[in-house]
Structure 1
């Protein structure tokens, strides 16, 4: 494989460490800040070179659409664009709960709207679904009103991860950064104009974690 430049090596190391810490890939802005690079266009150029040389998979139409290549120690192969259909279960902001399938009904979603997504994002698709974002509470995480968040079913997440949670007392759901603080749980928006919400921990149920953001450009 082609030798990396110093900047490309720095970017690749940052992406590896970010994914290891957060369980989802960094945005271009995260890389610019974390690697102290002058502009997002410089980041984008070097990501393209890393992709060309087999170090990364990159879906430019997807926010945070980066993944580490499994071909890094071999001759790179063309990126497969196989897709997996995942159900669109509803919307999320701070409103009514969406209909989560039971463990034995994920394969029987014929009545749901389905979204075709790259397999590099969804894996096998087991326990993966999409939600449409309503509102601007996560705009600083580059998630805007109308975007689709790709979720993986989970009953717990690490502090700081972005999660869909249900507030049991009023039976509503919301998408926020999750922080467990003993008897209290803090749900932090990614919007400097909004305040965090704090609840009794037993009143908060984790439903799933964010694995990607999908945005239609038109």
Structure 2
């Protein structure tokens, strides 16, 4: 376990941390804020959010504030990256939030909050990303970090996710395939959420 020097848990933080570890071992995905509230006997989410923030600051968990399902245990994340579902490399498909299994890439895992997606389709074949590959994605925490030409996982609410090249001109986003058989997806910036940028491709031969 890697923690900040001298950062020990309070009784309340330790209780929540222990419960989260037990829950994730049993169900293979992180609990919701409401489930944590019920387990700790609390009626407000504020104490849970405070404890999660302290657990993150002390190096016990990785967590995107406000998104409980992004929670990971630091001393266990090195054992594998959570596979969060599938991403379309053709049209748009439904996405899934529950962790299904872990992809073991501990030797290359250096950054926090990395997640894996299984590629479904051939629209990125000319970028050497084929159907059945695993793509390792780094979360986009700041939209200003996006650059034209990046390969991203994009979520269109109500429709699904897709893996494409990202291009922005004004308020319009163009999600472009690496396969001439597919037309670009043109959409207003307010109608799309960029989940992550491509970090690596994992292919089992």
Calculate the aligned-residue CA RMSD, in Å: 1.7
Question: How far apart, CA to CA, are the structure 2 residues paired with 1:182 and 1:205?
Answer: 16
Is the 2:85–2:100 contact (alpha carbons within 8 Å) kept by the matching residues of 1?
Answer: no
- TM-score normalised by length of structure 1: 0.53
What's the CA shift string for 1:54-108, capped at 9, x where partnerless? xxxxxxxxxxxxxxxxxxxxxxxxxxxxx641101111002112318xxxxxxxx
Stretches of structure 2 lacking an aligned partner (at least 5 in a row): 1-77
Q: Which runs of 4+ in 1 moved over 2 A?
A: none
Residue 123 of structure 1 is matched in structure 2 by: 110
Question: How far apart, CA to CA, are the structure 1 residues paired with 2:169 and 2:96?
Answer: 26
Question: How far apart, CA to CA, are the structure 2 residues paired with 1:183 and 1:89?
Answer: 29
Question: How far apart, CA to CA, are the structure 2 residues paired with 1:208 and 1:119?
Answer: 21
* 1:119 alignment partner, SS class: coil
Is the 1:84–1:119 contact (alpha carbons within 8 Å) kept by the matching residues of 2?
Answer: no
Q: CA deviation at 1:204?
A: 1.0
Judged with a 3 Å threshold, the aligned counterparts in structure 2 of structure 1 residues 131 and 151 are, in CA distance, closer, same or farther, namely same
* 1:191 alignment partner, SS class: coil
- TM-score normalised by length of structure 2: 0.56
2:192 is aligned with 1:204:
yes
* 2:80 alignment partner, SS class: strand
Is the 2:115–2:138 contact (alpha carbons within 8 Å) kept by the matching residues of 1?
Answer: yes
* 2:83 alignment partner, SS class: strand
Count of residue correspondences: 122
2:169 is aligned with 1:162:
no
Stretches of structure 1 lacking an aligned partner (at least 5 in a row): 1-82, 101-110
Q: CA deviation at 1:201?
A: 1.2
Higher RCO, 1 or 2 (CA under 8 Å, sep at least 6)? 1
Q: CA deviation at 1:140?
A: 0.4
